[in-house]
Amino acid sequence: MKPIVYTKIPRIDRDLIARAARQTVADLHEGLGAVAGRQCLLGPKMRPVWNGAKVCGQAVTCFNYPGDNLMLHAALRLAEPGDVVVATNGGEVQGALWGDMATLFAQLKGLGGAVIDGSARDSASVAEMGFPVFASVISVSHPEKRGPGSANVPVVVCGITVHPGDLIVGDADGVLAIPPELVETAVAGAEARSAKEEAMRARLKEGATMFDLLNLQPLFEAAGIVEVEGAWNDPR
């Protein structure tokens, strides 16, 4: 593929994005189902740069040549308020993709956050600014600005293919990249799960057990698990 920049991404209904923002990554992951949930979950190397960071917005993607961050600036230029810059150089340590100046510009522009598969730097300043940044590496390694690279094309981020316009949701538990056509499913499933767990919390406070609420006895029996009254080393 030749170096290329696409200027637009497919748009998701803003009310649906707002509903997603009220859910946790864990509930959205479960709401997607066992297969899609795994397909949308970025690898665990992707972590918030500061505790408490949360992000929910559509992906403006860029692939940067290792050691270079020229295309990051293309993504920053194209991103609209609420969007999340998703940048990768293949996860390489060399050439920090993100820092405090990019943070300031993104914050002033009203962007929703950044997800960086590669190095981010100036982590203390980013934390003070309160802008949500997730990264797979923290390193001050100097970047060049020569290219090549592309923006708003599919990119692989921590093992998951992220398409321009995917809904990026991140919190302390990880980051999801949800295709637009699956967002309604994820949100509806998360809302149902959240309501169910709220009812379970009330039952637990009344004295119920997790074993009974989850109806685990039939699963124990199906697995052939034997329960013995006593300690493992009691004389038989």
Q: What is the CA radius of gyration of the chain?
A: 21
Q: Whose CA is closest to 155, among 163, 165, 147?
A: 163
H or E stretch at 46: none
The answer to whether residue 8 sits within a structural domain is no
Q: Is 36 annotated as a binding residue?
A: no
pLDDT at residue 236 greater than cutoff 80: no
The answer to whether residue 226 sits within a structural domain is no
Q: Is 121 annotated as a binding residue?
A: yes
Domain membership of residue 80 as a residue range:
14-189
Q: Is 102 annotated as a binding residue?
A: yes
Q: How confident is the model at residue 2 (pLDDT cuts 50, 70, 90)?
A: confident
The answer to whether residue 208 sits within a structural domain is no
pLDDT at residue 235 greater than cutoff 90: no
> pLDDT tens digit string along 109-157?
999 999 999 999 999 999 999 999 999 999 999 999 999 999 999 999 9
The answer to whether residue 6 sits within a structural domain is no
Retrieve residue 159's tokens.
């093992």
The answer to whether residue 57 sits within a structural domain is yes
Domain count, the chain: 1
The answer to whether residue 2 sits within a structural domain is no
CATH number of the domain to which 67 belongs: 3.50.30.40
> pLDDT tens digit string along 32-75?
999 999 999 999 999 999 999 999 999 999 999 999 999 999 99
The answer to whether residue 58 sits within a structural domain is yes
Retrieve residue 158's tokens.
């921590």
Share of the chain above pLDDT 90, in %: 97
Cβ-contact 169, 29 below 8 angstroms = no
The answer to whether residue 78 sits within a structural domain is yes
Q: Could you tell me the pTM of the whole model?
A: 0.94
pLDDT at 122: 97
Q: Is 114 annotated as a binding residue?
A: no
**Spatial separation of the C-alpha atoms in residues 172 and 52, rounded to whole Å:** 7
